[in-house]
Structure 1
């Protein structure tokens, strides 16, 4: 891609470029994302009205839809997490080895430690979601008389920022841990191949100029600092519009 100064790159595109540069398409890390532009409520191309979650119950599903819509909203730079199917991606992950915590060592002792030393929580991702969503909804009912999904966008963002900072935490699940997992999974789903449930229109790949599963880059390598001329292609052969 052509080089640009950071200040010339819209915040949403810069976030995705930085995310892709430090992680594979299954991502981790980062803080609450503030995108330029006013988010709009997304009609879902990715989250079908007929999709039935396999892990999340109705209350949890409403929370996931609302929360990821605030983390990666639809704006002038493209579709957001909900319309790209990120909630579907997260729901599917909960029934895979990742959701059960089978991909890493999960035996005691558990301790506060740097991320480089590995996952330290005794909670598998599915347990973190189940406890975290209930705790946040209970908190919102106590202070706002509504569950999280029924709050205004400003109130939702305030709750998410309190989780991120650790100001809002709970006895049975650390608020910051819950937020970090939610954001990690939202970014993963938004940048993943559509076969995993998210990025259904390849919008994120198109936004950052990632060509996807194309097999031949020789012509591009012979012409550095020029945008790749073709749209992205998924593993299954799906192409962006």
Structure 2
């Protein structure tokens, strides 16, 4: 048995202008610059050094830190993501398969606090009291490579490979996400890729394969002249 409803659709024609004023709504609130919201100064320096090795500066773009990746991670950890406030976190906690993602009890802010402390302690013990940022680029890359391959046993029961995955994913998010969240400064990654960003309409260019997009990207914040309207 099928049950349905019937109704009428009404069309309206506007002339002499639109029934709303462009740019009259409040724009999104961007991440506030300056200072750490979650990280301590030491943690901030460590994360900044790590993201610079995950995304080193080259002839295509700036480094991960210069793109704002560390700031992005800091602001995310200080918000809903860090506390897992929008997720079910009551358990049971069982080890899942890789495709299921993280299944543990500690939330991201707890994971970062423990993970960064473990890295700091491990590096200091291995390199005569040095911090990660004091190591040479080759030493930093070697450490991160071993960490990713699960060949480093961090202290205090911190899973090195798992924690590396968190930092890597969050760094990529910060590099490619909209600048409103604190990363992708000046839309550097979008400009590198030729991504149009949050433009309303670019259908005229969808079928133009292997042709660079001719217009600059636009953030969720809108055009650069939003505030002047």
Tell me which stretches of 4 or more aligned residues in structure 1 moved more than 6 Å.
none
Partner of residue 202, structure 1: 187
TM-score of the aligned structures, taking structure 2 as reference length: 0.78
Once residues 126 and 190 of structure 1 are traced to their aligned partners in structure 2, the CA distance between those partners, rounded to angstroms, is 20
Q: Secondary structure in 1 aligned to 2:47?
A: helix
Once residues 150 and 169 of structure 2 are traced to their aligned partners in structure 1, the CA distance between those partners, rounded to angstroms, is 16
Alignment of 1:47-196 (within 5 A): 51-145=34-128, 146-170=130-154, 171-196=156-181
CA contact (8 A) 1:104 1:119 kept: no
Cα deviation per residue 1:95-140 (whole Å; 9 max; x = unaligned)?
Answer: 1111112233323332222233343111111111111111111111
Once residues 163 and 238 of structure 1 are traced to their aligned partners in structure 2, the CA distance between those partners, rounded to angstroms, is 41
Instruction: Give the count of matched residue pairs.
Output: 191
CA 1:136–1:118 in 2, change beyond 3 Å: closer, same or farther?
closer
Once residues 137 and 79 of structure 2 are traced to their aligned partners in structure 1, the CA distance between those partners, rounded to angstroms, is 31
Deviates more, 1:204-213 or 1:101-110: 101-110
Once residues 108 and 172 of structure 1 are traced to their aligned partners in structure 2, the CA distance between those partners, rounded to angstroms, is 20
TM-score of the aligned structures, taking structure 1 as reference length: 0.74
CA contact (8 A) 1:106 1:120 kept: no
Gaps of 5+ in 2: 1-31, 225-229
Once residues 157 and 100 of structure 2 are traced to their aligned partners in structure 1, the CA distance between those partners, rounded to angstroms, is 23
Cα offset, 1:225, TM superposition? 4.2
Alignment of 1:220-235 (within 5 A): 220-235=205-220
Q: Secondary structure in 2 aligned to 1:237?
A: coil
Once residues 184 and 150 of structure 2 are traced to their aligned partners in structure 1, the CA distance between those partners, rounded to angstroms, is 30
Aligned match of 2:197 in 199, 208, 212?
A: 212
Q: Secondary structure in 1 aligned to 2:157?
A: coil
